[in-house]
Amino acid sequence: MTPRSRAILRWEITGAIFTILVGSALHFVFGWTGGWRPVALIAAVNESIWEHLKLAFWPGLFWALLPRRGLELPLQGRLAGKGIALTLTAVLIVMIFKSYTAILGHNLLPLDIGTFVLAVMIGQIVSAALSIYGMPSPAPLAVGLSLLVIQLAAYAFFTFYPPDFWLFIDSRNGLRGIPPT
């Protein structure tokens, strides 16, 4: 592994730690602000799976926007790689959570946290690999950027207008979206 590759991997592992810590805090921010609607875009507003996906997405996107001193990675490539990695992170969270709850019949907080941590770590490692090896052609670049734009639009829209679908239903009370005041 080259020194540049090691530096990129260190950067993305640090990003995983950042995402885990900030994402964990974002779980509580909506409540801490007294249900301030503008913060609902980035913070979990209920206990649905969908709301927990935002906890990995927004810190991960923020991390991708930070300048990487000495790594000289173009922003467009970083964002495309992050679009792919954050999509993978979300898919892993849903798959692992649904799998283990199907087996156990209910969720367990330690497994929920472990699912989040594992999915974020894998996503950041994929992001590192995409940064190290680059986008081999314009197609993956376009796919990654498209995935990022779709996620941005989806998190913005479905936070305020969640459909009646299991992914968006709060497991505690059966409600969707921002709780009524």
Considering the entire predicted model, what is its pTM? 0.93
Predicted pLDDT at 40:
96
What does the pLDDT look like over 136-149, one tens digit per residue? Answer: 678 888 999 999 99
The rounded distance, in Å, linking the Cα atoms of 47 and 176 is 9
Predicted pLDDT at 68:
75
Q: In the numeric block, which tokens belong to residue 58?
A: 């927004």
- Every domain of the chain and the residues it spans: 3-168
Positions of the chain with pLDDT lower than 70, given as ranges: 136
The rounded distance, in Å, linking the Cα atoms of 44 and 178 is 9
What does the pLDDT look like over 70-109, one tens digit per residue? Answer: 777 778 888 999 999 999 999 999 999 999 999 999 999 9
Predicted pLDDT at 136:
67
